[in-house]
Structure 1
Amino acid sequence: MGYVARGVVYLLVGGTGLFVAVGLAERARGSSDAIRLLTQLPMGRVLIAALTVGLVGYSTLSFVAAVRAPEGTTGARGAIVRAADAIAGLVYAGLSALAVRLLADPTADTGSASEQWAARLLALSGGRTLMAVAGLVVACAGGYLAYKSIALPVTAQLERRKVSPAVVRAVVWLARMGLAARAVLFTLCGALLMRAAATGEPRRVGGLGDALDTLADAPAGPVVVGLVALGCVAYGVYQLAKARWRRVRLGAPTEAADQVAVTAGATHG
């Protein structure tokens, strides 16, 4: 359910980005706004409730991975991967809290979570430096995602005995497109953080939706936004594919191939 929830969020983010690309919407939606969109659909509360369970599940999975996985990964690389999982857990815990609030009151004004925490950070002594470092970390994460879009052994994550070769090839392409799109968005989010640190203005901090809007203002903006948004949709479908065919080992791996699968699954793709 966690993979499904994550997939739904990226499908909504990518879908609104495609609307911007073709001129049917004025701005893209980030993760928080995408979740709010569900409240406007028929049976919105039921959808939000199901999404909440999935978001809590993915957050829990990320925290467990930060403590126990990836097996066999030690040293600096292991610390980085565990830190990334812990951060993912915090992010999805925040989205879970937002979903719970919308479940209780679909009309609640949740505001801009990123702007709120940015204002608190900038108010601290040395807040600008901390935000600049955070921006650099996020931008570096974008670079790592770009690397993963090329090097991630996607097939090691799948129970290939249950998937046809054609589906495996399709999932690989979806994964690489999605990771490349996320690389672009994370790099832009890092740049927005560093810009906010330089100006001291929390409103300049942005999430995925703001990163898509930034792309829209660039030369050939609609085309670029359309490609990145399509990548987000591909990543969403990839998450749904993982919900169906992800290789999950509950015990210690006993074969080399299983070891590769667990290590390749760090930060869950």
Structure 2
Amino acid sequence: MTTRVFAGAGRGRARAAAGGSAREGAARAGLTARGVIYLLVGVLALQIAFGAGHREADRSGALQELADQPFGAVLLWALGIGLVGMALWRLSEALFGAVGEDGHKAKKRLPSAARCVFYAFVAYTVLAFAVSPANGSGGSSDQQSRDVTARVMDVPAGRWLVGAVGVGIVVAGVVMGVQAARRKYHKKLKMGELAPWSRRLVDVTGVAGGVARGLVFATAGAFAVRAAVDYRPDQAKGLDDTLRSFADTPLGPWLLVLVAAGLVLFGVFSFALARWRRV
């Protein structure tokens, strides 16, 4: 009897270890895939800032850039599978809780559920592009934003809904930027494993990249609010138009250069998370 109890306990620990390894692998693959996308979008935005860009600085442009590389099809499939891993990791957090003291609370699990849906959609678009690059990746982010905004505005109270979503995106962007500036990501890292050089790398990329990412989100949300106020869906902007709008400020293309460089750094930060994040 005792032998069976110990054997059952051993099998339970083995299953838990296997599940933990699968979850960790999915998380690290997903963070790496996210890093690739931000890195490519940042590079495309830099090319636009310097007048050399011929592709949109969004996910569709990043996928087309990958497709043109040697072994592009393999890279696209790897990226899509990595994003599937990200979606599954977020799903596991929504179902079973995330790491940390309050990881099992609803305030952590509900955002994980939303991230799961988002990354599942992104993974689908990437894999669909990998299957048939000629059909594109579902259109540019700018056109998608305008189409979705127009459809929502056609429903009752749609204008208010667009405005509320825009305000939510602005708030999310501000929170992202503030948390990055305050280095809140330290709570999610294996700080004991970081050497002095890697700590500096994480902080430079985490702060600069996180602030730039938050600024892009907040700006896109502000355009959605403006579209709702003016009742003009065409004023909603996707990632590409949002980035290009930074070049129309008094600082000219240099603000776009700073933001684009920040997105490149956020891509590097995602690679660092893939290595040292607690999952």
TM-score, structure 2 normalization:
0.80
d(CA) in 2 for partners of 1:121 and 1:59? 26
Opposite residue 125 of structure 1, the aligned amino acid is: P
Write the mapping of 1:248-259 to structure 2, written as runs, cut at 5 A: 248=279
Opposite residue 137 of structure 1, the aligned amino acid is: G
d(CA) in 2 for partners of 1:199 and 1:81? 35
Write the mapping of 1:129-140 to structure 2, written as runs, cut at 5 A: 129-140=160-171
Range moving further from structure 2, 126-135 or 162-171? 162-171
State the 1:165 CA deviation.
Answer: 1.5
Opposite residue 138 of structure 1, the aligned amino acid is: I
State the 1:231 CA deviation.
Answer: 0.7
Which residue of 2 is the match for residue 31 of structure 1?
59
State the 1:26 CA deviation.
Answer: 5.9
d(CA) in 1 for partners of 2:107 and 2:232? 29
d(CA) in 2 for partners of 1:71 and 1:163? 19
Q: Highest CA radius of gyration, 1 or 2?
A: 2
Conserved? CA contact 2:183–2:203, under 8 Å: no
Indicate yes or no: 2:258 matched with 1:230: no
Change (3 A) 1:116 1:63: farther
Q: Match for 1:189 among 212, 217, 220?
A: 220
State the 1:3 CA deviation.
Answer: 0.6
d(CA) in 2 for partners of 1:143 and 1:88? 18
Indicate yes or no: 2:196 matched with 1:165: yes
Change (3 A) 1:35 1:127: same
Write the mapping of 1:100-179 to structure 2, written as runs, cut at 5 A: 100-109=127-136, 110-111=138-139, 112-179=143-210
Conserved? CA contact 1:32–1:95, under 8 Å: no
Unaligned residue ranges in structure 2 (runs of 5+): 1-28
Change (3 A) 1:188 1:54: same
Q: Match for 2:272 among 231, 241, 259?
A: 241
Which residue of 2 is the match for residue 9 of structure 1?
37
Range moving further from structure 2, 121-130 or 44-53? 121-130
Indicate yes or no: 2:117 matched with 1:90: yes
State the 1:153 CA deviation.
Answer: 3.6
d(CA) in 2 for partners of 1:27 and 1:42? 18
Opposite residue 198 of structure 2, the aligned amino acid is: V
SS in 2 for 1:107: helix
Opposite residue 202 of structure 1, the aligned amino acid is: P
Deviations 1:89-117 (A, max 9, x none): 22222211111211121010422433333
Indicate yes or no: 2:126 matched with 1:99: yes
d(CA) in 1 for partners of 2:224 and 2:85? 28
Which residue of 2 is the match for residue 21 of structure 1?
49
Q: Match for 2:92 among 43, 64, 70?
A: 64
Q: Over aligned residue pairs, what C-alpha RMSD do you find?
A: 2.3
Identity %: 33
Deviations 1:39-91 (A, max 9, x none): 2222221111000011111122223333423644389xx65544433332222
Which residue of 2 is the match for residue 210 of structure 1?
241
Conserved? CA contact 2:93–2:109, under 8 Å: yes
Opposite residue 134 of structure 2, the aligned amino acid is: T
TM-score, structure 1 normalization:
0.83
Question: How many matched pairs?
Answer: 246
Conserved? CA contact 1:155–1:168, under 8 Å: no
Conserved? CA contact 2:99–2:278, under 8 Å: no
State the 1:241 CA deviation.
Answer: 1.1
Opposite residue 98 of structure 2, the aligned amino acid is: A
State the 1:218 CA deviation.
Answer: 1.1
d(CA) in 2 for partners of 1:121 and 1:209? 21
Change (3 A) 1:132 1:188: same
Greater relative contact order (Cα < 8 A, sep 6+): 1
SS in 2 for 1:42: coil
Deviations 1:11-31 (A, max 9, x none): 011111111222212675112
